[in-house]
Chain A
Amino acid sequence: MFTVLCAGAVLILGAVLALALRTNAHRTIAALATQCVSTVLVLVAVVPILRGGPLLTARWAWSYPVEVIVVHVDALSAFFLVWSVPMTFLGMVYAVGYLRPYFAAGRNGGPHFALLNLTSLSFLIIYSVQNALVFLLGWEIAAVAAWLMVIWDYRNQKVRFAGFNYLVSTHIGLFVLVAAFMLMHAQTDSMDFDAFAGFLARPSHLRSVAFLLLGTSFALKSAFFPFHTWLPRAHSAAPAHVSALMSGVIHKAGLFAFLRFTLLMGRPEEWMGWSVLGFGAVSAFFGVLYTSAQRDMKRLLGYSSTENVGIAAMGFGVGYLGLTWGKPTLVVLGFGGGLLHLFNHALFKCLLFYGAGSVYRATHTIDLERLGGLIKKMPRTAILFLVGGLAIAAIPPLNGFVSELIVYAGLLSGDAPSPVANAALVCAAALLAFVGAVSALSIVRAFGVAFLGRPRDASIHAPSDPPFSMLAPMALHATGIVAIGLFPQLGLVVIRAARSLFHVAGEAATDSLLARIVSPLQVASIVLAAGVVVACTAGWVRGRNARRHVTWGCGYTAPNTRMQYTASSFAAQFVNLFEAFLPQLRRERLPTSVFPAEPSHISTHHVDGVERRMFEILGQGEEMVSHAADRIPEQPRFAFAAGLVAIVILGGWLIGVGR
């Protein structure tokens, strides 16, 4: 316990130093050194827990209203800490290179580094305390720190708006969370999670309400559909490392809290499992649909976080159903797959955002329609981005496949008690297949348009690969991706302790089940990886001295780079099929005559369907209502009767809930 406290103290010290020191070089060193020390301390403290060692517990009496602070680092906390804190450190290393042009322009980096330190501190708090008030404190530190980091480029009005949008959304989530805590406090007269557990263990109407409130709040934090509206804006506006940390690490706190309360709850009801599964499936589906249409690379990656938390939630949903039905197989596969997918997502999503950041730093744009041909100027970035992209599309020798395979195994296990439930789970698996294929489309589109072909905009000059401080974190993430892909046991070791917390009462959880699923395919994956390496080497070697010519233009001899296939045209075929969900904004002035005298232009942009609808209601809601109300006098008796029926139903429902 002492080491964890020391880590917290070191982080605070680093934040103070970053604010107090005079030059950016000193601030950088202070922040990096303290992050490094705290990372080592945290690892020293939590790795033994993951290996089955004793848990860390401490309690302090505190003044009213907190009364007593219990700090408890169990396997779940240890699992989240063991990658959150080191990845934040890597994010800071990346930030040093990424922010260098700003520092050269005289910008003070101290507050930013202090905020990164505070983010790590908030992980220590959220993942270890057992008291609702202190938990809220950590939650709020993470939220506000993330907001302040998002608006790094605060002189830009769009960035300020994105930040404000995030701040409002995250606080709506906070209010819902506070409501849930108040409800549980009213029932237990305590702010301690252990006391909450006593209330949550018994099925009741109020428990269902608490479950829904907690679920909503955590879904907002982790950007589930339809609570994701803040996410694409914030991710697009923030510096790359902040987007990476928010998407990969900070917002996993929502899922952590969800799992924490799952543990407190014990055996859930069946509808909870189905709703978690359905919610995850809907998030994955819409998240991936939105990725297919974006032209801003970071918005695209942001939507893909909605997709990936959805996949993890599908795993958790399977686990929930397993808990309800008392099926250890489903529990192991569901929670195992979900936890591993969280970890994997943190690995590849940070890598992809870092790649996008490298592109932005070199070209000052991440608009896919203007990029192209970057692989020649930035080959290292391109290769690393491709590794992350293949992993996110769950392509076999990489880590994304391992976790999705486990989720598939849960969905296709056929362990549900009724044939209809089994068929529903298979449908969820088919949906996951669709999601996988569409995310392959999106990543081929992002990589193919930005890195391959030729530059689409002559005004963009990409100098070269980013400095070592940016490449090193990317390379480390890529190493993790390949390592877990080729040796899935590594991933299973990381999740084992946390996964074994979830088990069916009375039945021993089987560790060997996961190994039985991933090990045989590991052989196949290694064969495939060897084949791919040989193939790439062969292609590489053979191509070095080959004859060069131009791309065949189908007989057309004067192509220019603007005639290449663009990101929009690549997605058009697919997007047309799902037009209903993907609203498109067009700004156009089309040519009017055979010899147009005035220049014409067209610009298209896919906006967020949920956000658009929300703003529509906010902006024109009263018009809609008054329009509807205008029609009442035409049918007064009908409207009166309908209102009466509505009141009776609503009243009856409320009385039913209150009982």
Chain B
Amino acid sequence: MIARVLVHAIALLILPIVVVGVIHRTKSLWAGRKGPPILQLAYDVERLLRKRSVYSETTSFVFRCGPWVVLASSLASGLVAPFLGVRAPLSCPFDFVWFAYVWGLGRIALMLGALDTGSSFEGMGASREATFAALLEPAFFLVAGAACLRSHERSFTAILSLRAGGGAPLVWLGSVVALFVLVQVECARMPVDDPTTHLELTMVHEVMILDHSGPDLAALQIAAAVKLTIGLGIVASLLNPLTERASASSTAAVNVLLVLVLAVAIGTVESLVARLKLRSVPQFIVVALVAAGVALLATTWGGGGGG
């Protein structure tokens, strides 16, 4: 048990660095460059931690606490999320509700930090973040609800039971699509947001961290990487071909591989697809909503599931 918790915690800290590295490497390869080392994020963070922060005179303690609250909430959400494809250490009934609202806490901390600078540019980013979150949240609950109706579990483990072998292909497919779109929007990846540019008017996530510097920026970067890894881990655990009968360690190993494959997929999407117009982002989110709705409707066909 303790070993599993340790593995989970270590994976939560190390996997994000690798995932971000893999994405960057993929994008570099597509662009014909060699690319940074896989562990570049760790070097960046180490460098930022040695620096001093600079704060705007407009800001208050909200701005100073914000990044660390974001980091704390990302890490805490990792405690209940089964991103390794096996039961998480703090798994319990309705942990996905807690998970969704803990991400909400991180989002609020980030938005308040942005508003605290008094910069209209950052306010714009906060406004977009809040709007997209409001549209996304129902999609997550539709998927979670569909999963609950399919299985006897009322936790994240229910989502795991949707795996391809579960006998409900439409529920599975809808959930995968919905969750993948959700990760793309929530973690500010390509068709919605470009994490590499800080200076364009259509940014969402990145404009909110313009005024953060030094260790604060490091905290935000780790937090974003952790969120991305957790999101990809959940999608990967849906794609994981090993059923629950396989041993936990092999499932987790396969899941880590799948996360890296998904990271390559994200990098590929980012290299080949242009960013959506901001106006079209809500329509992109509707894709997630519709997919989740299909997953839910599909549960009503199969005689009601196990519920």
Contacts and interface: CB of A to CB of B under 8 A. Distances in A.
Interface string B148-178: 1100001000000000000000000000000
A404 B98 CA distance: 10
B69 A448 contact: no
A422 interface: yes
A404 B112 CA distance: 23
A426 B68 contact: no
A483 interface: no
Nearest to A541: B64
A549 B57 contact: yes
A564 B104 contact: no
Contacts of A432: 141
Contact of A430 (B53, B66, B138, B303): B138
B236 interface: no
A624 interface: no
A314 B174 CA distance: 27
Given A426-B149, A431-B138, A524-B98, A570 B299 contact: no
B304 interface: yes
Interface string A569-597: 11111100100000000000000000000
A546 B120 contact: no
B75 A531 contact: yes
A444 B108 contact: yes
B195 interface: no
Main SS of chain A's interface residues? helix
B60 A401 contact: no
Contact of B104 (A395, A411, A454, A531): A395
Given A434-B138, A548-B56, A412 B94 contact: yes
Identify the interface centre among B107, B134, B142, B144: most chain A CB within 10 Å of its CB.
B134
A414 B90 CA distance: 23
Contacts of B120: 563-565, 569
Nearest to A570: B127
A396 B67 contact: no
B204 to A, nearest CB: 10
A531 B75 CA distance: 9
Identify the interface centre among B71, B124, B131: most chain A CB within 10 Å of its CB.
B131
Contact of A427 (B75, B98, B142): B142
A440 B72 contact: no
Chain B: interface size category: 35 or more
Contact of A452 (B112, B139, B211, B299): B112
A423 B297 contact: yes
Identify the interface centre among A405, A521, A523, A534: most chain B CB within 10 Å of its CB.
A521
A574 B130 contact: yes
Given A447-B112, A549-B57, A564 B134 contact: no
A341 to B, nearest CB: 14
B282 interface: yes
B94 A454 contact: no
B121 interface: yes
A359 to B, nearest CB: 16
Interface stretch (A229-237, A346-354, A504-512, A551-559): A551-559
Interface string B290-306: 00100011011101110
Contacts of A422: 149, 299-300, 304, 307
Nearest to B122: A565
B145 A430 contact: yes
A547 B55 contact: yes
A396 B105 contact: yes
A527 B52 contact: no
Contact of A433 (B100, B105, B108, B130): B100
A44 interface: no
Interface in B43-98: 52-69, 71-73, 75-76, 79-80, 90, 92-95, 97-98
Main SS of chain B's interface residues? helix
A535 B138 contact: no
Identify the interface centre among A432, A434, A444: most chain B CB within 10 Å of its CB.
A444
B117 interface: yes
Nearest to B117: A551
A619 interface: no
Nearest to A564: B118
B93 A409 contact: yes
A444 B115 contact: yes
A368 B67 CA distance: 26
A430 B142 contact: yes
B116 A452 contact: yes
B123 A569 contact: yes
Nearest to B97: A408
A650 interface: no
Given A396-B105, A543-B53, A550-B56, A524 B80 contact: yes
Contact of A535 (B69, B79, B210): B69
Given A412-B145, A430-B142, A528-B72, A521 B98 contact: yes
B154 A549 contact: no
A542 B148 contact: no
Given A376-B60, A423-B149, A521 B94 contact: yes
B100 A528 contact: no
A430 B141 contact: yes
A289 to B, nearest CB: 10
A418 B305 CA distance: 10
Contact of A524 (B76, B123, B126): B76
A376 to B, nearest CB: 6
A393 B123 contact: no
Contact of A539 (B66, B92, B126, B142): B66
B133 A437 contact: yes
Interface string B215-229: 110000000000000
Contacts of B145: 411-412, 423, 425-427, 429-430
Nearest to B100: A433
Contacts of A401: 98, 101
A367 interface: no
A419 interface: yes
A460 B124 CA distance: 25
Given A394-B101, A396-B101, A536-B69, A521 B304 contact: no
A546 B60 contact: no
A140 interface: no
A375 B104 contact: no
A415 B307 contact: yes
Interface of B: 52-69, 71-73, 75-76, 79-80, 90, 92-95, 97-98, 100-102, 104-105, 107-108, 111-112, 115-124, 126-128, 130-131, 133-142, 144-146, 148-149, 154, 199, 210-211, 215-216, 282, 292, 296-297, 299-301, 303-305, 307
Given A528-B102, A548-B54, 10 more contacts: A396-B101, A426-B145, A430-B141, A444-B126, A448-B115, A453-B118, A536-B68, A551-B118, A552-B210, A565-B119
Listed from nearest, the 10 A-B pairs whose CB atoms lie closest are: A565-B123, A426-B145, A520-B92, A535-B68, A448-B115, A414-B307, A543-B64, A531-B72, A453-B118, A539-B65
24 contacts: A393-B108, A409-B97, A422-B304, A423-B149, A423-B299, A427-B296, A429-B141, A429-B145, A436-B101, A441-B134, A444-B108, A516-B93, A520-B93, A521-B98, A527-B90, A531-B72, A534-B68, A539-B61, A546-B54, A551-B119, A552-B56, A561-B118, A563-B120, A565-B123
